[in-house]
Structure 1
C-alpha cells in the first residue's frame, strides 16, 4: 500500500476527478478528524464540510481555519453531544435538510475511559461514541450516501486489526465492562458492522481504520495535562503528526483503491492495487486498514465470527438498541 509520498501525490489528483465533495466529520473539532478535514479542504475545489462536535468554540475555530485554507468551500458546525442517540438524529436531520447527497462520512468520536459511565439512555458513554453513534449516523445518512454521483465512502477511525473475542450477550457492555473489554468490543463491533453494511449497501465503501499513534490532544484530555504530556513525550518517536495522519486518511477516503462491492473488478488509478475485503475478495466493499492503508485483517478471527453469523446478529442487536431508545419508528436497513 502507499508510501506517504504516493498518498500525497494521489491526493493532488483528486480534484481532476471531482471539483465538489460533501463531507460530514463526526468528532472533527480536534485531532485526527480536524486534521483530515483540513487536508480535504486543500484538495477539493469547492468542498462542503460539516463538523459535528460538542464544543462550539472549537467548532468555530475549525470552520474559520477551513475558510482560510479554501475560501471557495462551505463549512458548517453542528453543536451536538453524540453520546446521546437522540442528538445524533437531530444532527442528521440538520444535514439532511441542507444536503441531498453526502459523499463522505468520516467518524472519530471517543476517548479513553477507565470506568463505565452510562448515559440517560442506558448505554456506556464511550461505547456509544465508539460504536452506536457511528452506526446511527450511517443508518440515518444511507439515503444521502446512496444518492452520490461518485461512490460514497464511510470511514470509522478506531482500532482495525485490534479485534478480539466478544460475546453476543455482552454487545452493549452491560453484562461485563473493563477498559480492555470496552476497547476490544469497540474494535470488533466496528469491523463486523462494516462487513455487514458493505454486503447490504453495495454502492458504498465502508472502511475501518486504525490510525496508529498520532500526536493529538487525546492523551492530555484523557489523563490530564501532566500525565498526558509525559505519555505524549514517551511515544513521540513512535507516532506521526496530525498532518500526516490527515494526509493518509484523505487518501483512504478518496482513493479508488477501496471501491464499493458494486464496483469490484475495476482498476485503481492511484498507483496501488485494489484492496481486499476481510472476506478475501478483492474490492469487496469493506476494508480493515492500518494507518498507512495496509490490510490489517485477522482472517481466522473474522471467519470464525462469520461462521457464527455475528455480522448479522450484531446489526440486529444494533437495530434493537435503536428501537428501544428512539422508539418503534426506527426502521431496519
Structure 2
C-alpha cells in the first residue's frame, strides 16, 4: 500500500519533467476528474489543457478559478456530450487538428444506472456509453498523439489513466451481449462488472501492441470517494456499489492520489523518482512497462491472474476486441 504521506512526498518532487505538457480531461467538471485536474494545476507548472464537458455557461466561474490557480496554464474548453459517440469522434478530431502530440488522457466521466436501462439516440446503453464506449473510442482516436509524445520525452511516459473499476472484473460476463441489451443481463452489478472487465480486456490488448509500448496504460479503481454520484436523485446505496457519498475519502485526497498516478515513476520507471520504501509497480504481464497497470484503491498494482486466466480460456480478449471494432466502426 502507498500511504497518503508517501503520495504527498512523491508529489512534492514533481517538476516540469514529471508532468504532462498537453493533457486531455474527459469528466473533469465534477468528482474525481475535477479533483485530479485541480491537483495538477496546483503545481503551477506550464501546461496546455483540453477539458471536455457540457454547459460552458455554467462553468465559466470555475474555469476562471482554474486559470487564476495557475497563470501558466492554457485552458481550452471543448463543449460536447460524450454519451454520443459521434460527438466523441468530433471532439477528438478537433484536438487532433490543433495538436501533434499529447502527454495525458484522463478519463473519468460516468454515472451509475440505478433506475434501469436507458439508451442514447445512437442505441447504446447510456451508462455504458460513458463508462466504456466513449472512453475506448477516445483512446482509439488520441493514441497517435500519445505515441508521438513518447518519442520526444525521455523522462516522462505519456499516460492513459482510466478511472473505473479494476478489481470488479468477472470471468462470466456475456461476451455475446457487450452492451447488455438483453434484460436478463442488465443490472447495476452487471454494468459494474461489464464496464470493468471490458475496460481491462481492451486496454490489455492496446497496451500489448508494439507501437504503444512506451505509453503507460492505467486502469484504476479509486476506492470510496465522496462525490456527487449519489446525489442525482437516488437516496440509497445499492448492494455492491463501489463508491459512497457519506463514507470514504474527500475529493481533495482523491486528487492527490490521481496526481500521483499522473506523475510517479512507480508506473514504468519514468516520472517523479520513487521513495526508498516504494517499489516499482508490475503490469498484468509481470513487467515494469509495456503492458497494462491495474491499480487498486491502495495504489497497489494487481494482476487478476485467476479471472484473466478464465477469460483467456473463453478467448475473451480477442472476442471483445472484434465485436467492439464492429460496434464502433461508424465512429472510428
Question: Which TM-score band applies after superposition, normalised by the shorter structure?
Answer: 0.7 to 0.9
2:158–2:216 Cα contact (<8 Å) kept = yes
Match of 2:240 in 1: none
Deviation at 1:129, TM superposition (A): 0.4
Say if 1:106 and 1:222 are closer, same or farther in 2 by CA, change over 3 A: farther
| Counterpart position of 2:274 | 270
In the alignment, which residue of structure 2 is the partner of 1:231?
none
Matched, 1:280 2:289: no
1:271-316 CA deviation, whole Å, 9 max, x = no partner? 2222111233343431111133112442200122133332222122
Deviates more, 1:113-122 or 1:123-132: 113-122
TM-score by length of 2: 0.88
Distance 1:144 1:133, change over 3 A: same
State whether residues 132 and 195 of structure 2, in contact with CA within 8 Å, keep that contact through their aligned partners in structure 1.
yes
Aligned to 1:212: 223
Q: Which protein has the bigger helix share?
A: 1
Structure 1 residue 94: Cα displacement: 1.8
Question: Could you say which residue in structure 1 is the equivalent of 2:318?
Answer: 312
What residue is the counterpart of 1:94 in the other structure? 94
Q: Relative to 1, partners in 2 of residues 1:65 and 1:182: Cα closer, same or farther, differing over 3 Å?
A: same
CA deviation profile, 1:112-160 (whole Å, cap 9, x unmatched): 1121111121110111100010001000001111111232100111111
- Residues 240 and 113 of structure 1: is their aligned pair in 2 closer, same or farther, counting only changes over 3 Å? same
Figure out how many residues of one structure are paired with residues of the other and give that number: 314
SS at match of 2:300: coil
Q: In the alignment, is the contact (CA less than 8 A) between 1:160 and 1:290 conserved in 2?
A: yes
Contact 1:26 1:52 in 2 (8 A): yes
Q: TM-score, normalised by structure 1?
A: 0.88
Contact 2:110-2:131 at 8 Å conserved across structures: yes
| CA deviation after TM superposition for structure 1 residue 44, in Å | 5.2
Q: Which residue of 2 aligns with 1:9?
A: 9
Moved more, 313-322 or 241-250: 313-322
| Unpaired stretches in structure 2, ≥5 consecutive residues | 238-242
Aligned to 2:206: 197
Who is 1:45 aligned against?
45
Q: Secondary structure at the match of 2:189?
A: helix
Instruction: Tell me, in whole angstroms, the C-alpha distance in 2 between the residues paired with 1:267 and 1:110.
Output: 28
Aligned-residue RMSD, C-alpha: 2.2
Contact kept, 8 Å, 2:226 with 2:251, in 1: the verdict is: yes
Q: Answer with 128-137 or 198-207: which moved more.
A: 198-207
Gaps of 5+ in 1: 229-233
Aligned residue for 1:223, secondary structure, equals coil
1:250 to 244, 250, 259: 259
Is residue 162 from structure 1 mapped to residue 162 from structure 2 by the alignment? Answer: no
Q: Distance in 2 between matches of 1:243 and 1:57?
A: 25
